[in-house]
Structure 1
Amino acid sequence: MRNEKALLKGISCGDETQFRELFNSYREKVYSYAFKILKSESEAEDVLQDVFLKLWLHDELDEIDNFEGYLKAMTRNHVFKVLRRQNLKCATNNLLKIKWTESHNETEELVLLNDSQLIINRALNEMPPKQKLVYNLCKSDGLKYDAVAKRLAISPLTVKTHMQHSLRFLRSYLTKHTDIAVFLLIIENLIRINK
């Protein structure tokens, strides 16, 4: 390449021929550096175009003392900008996937819960009356065994026995009338209610 300062001065004045000469001299270095880091031909090509566009628009290229060092720093900065953009895009995509999965799971669980509540209601209708009454007072009304015992004028031990029988009945009914996923979800909710 002929006198670099004169070439840069000509480019600053808008000389396209001199710009083409500069481009042909440095394009392979810029492209190779970008490709080595980004591992993408299209991204490396974009960096190449951005770097040389910025050079073309630069008014005072001839004032740069170490053009090759300047060009390398400029290329590195553009590559880092692309990497930041890629990382942001990746993080955004991951966040969107997580949110979609969470909302999808919530919807699926809601449908399963509605189905499971219908099955539980059917089971309750088939339960012996005393067990059903104790179950509803404990589960639906949220009463403790002592409160149910006072209300029904029976011992807390009898309330506990009725609850054990009603839960056994429910488990048996559910295993016969549901698939395993719904069954596990119902059991999980029964355990949560029991606590």
Structure 2
Amino acid sequence: LAERLGAFAGQMIDVEIKAVELAYEGEVAQLNTRPLTAAALAGVMRPVLAEINMVSAPAVARERGVTVTESKQDDSPVFESLVRITVTTTMGKRSFAGTVVAGTPRIVEVKGMELDAPFSPTMLYVNNQDKPGFIGAVGALLADARVNIATFNLGRVAAGEDAICLIGVDQEPDEGLVGRIRALPHVKEARILRF
């Protein structure tokens, strides 16, 4: 979970990273979290440094001036254990949270929006304004490109407001397809994620 959640965060960041904060809530806070933090940090930094691993990640972060902090809370309001990664960049902060359910890592929060999505080897991330017709339009674009949907998970602030869509796909989408998704009305951001 820590490494995949870090990989998710790292693929969502396009500018210089200043700090990475890991918050552990619930049962996971009772563990030695240093290896989890190192794994998450490797995931965050891998999009820029392909050869990084959990052994080298803490030292590389220090060399690059990235501040790494941990916090622990003995309980979690919803989950037995929760890991939250907050990345501070030159453009602000982005936060991602995950948990493990029945032995499977899951994404449970993005941009403060709750959702419940398993990690797939290839996923599409779409941030949009929640409006009618969006799901059908995305589905039609994927069908036209012969990309099969494996999982489809949504989160939103409230009806008509900011929303997130995480789509696990069976075939590798190309940038042309992602461009067509970005061109849909109300889409703010779309990108391919790989795990």
TM-score using structure 1 length: 0.19
Bigger-Rg structure (1/2): 1
Q: Name whichever structure is richer in strand by fraction.
A: 2
Higher relative contact order (CA 8 A, sep 6+): 2
TM-score using structure 2 length: 0.19
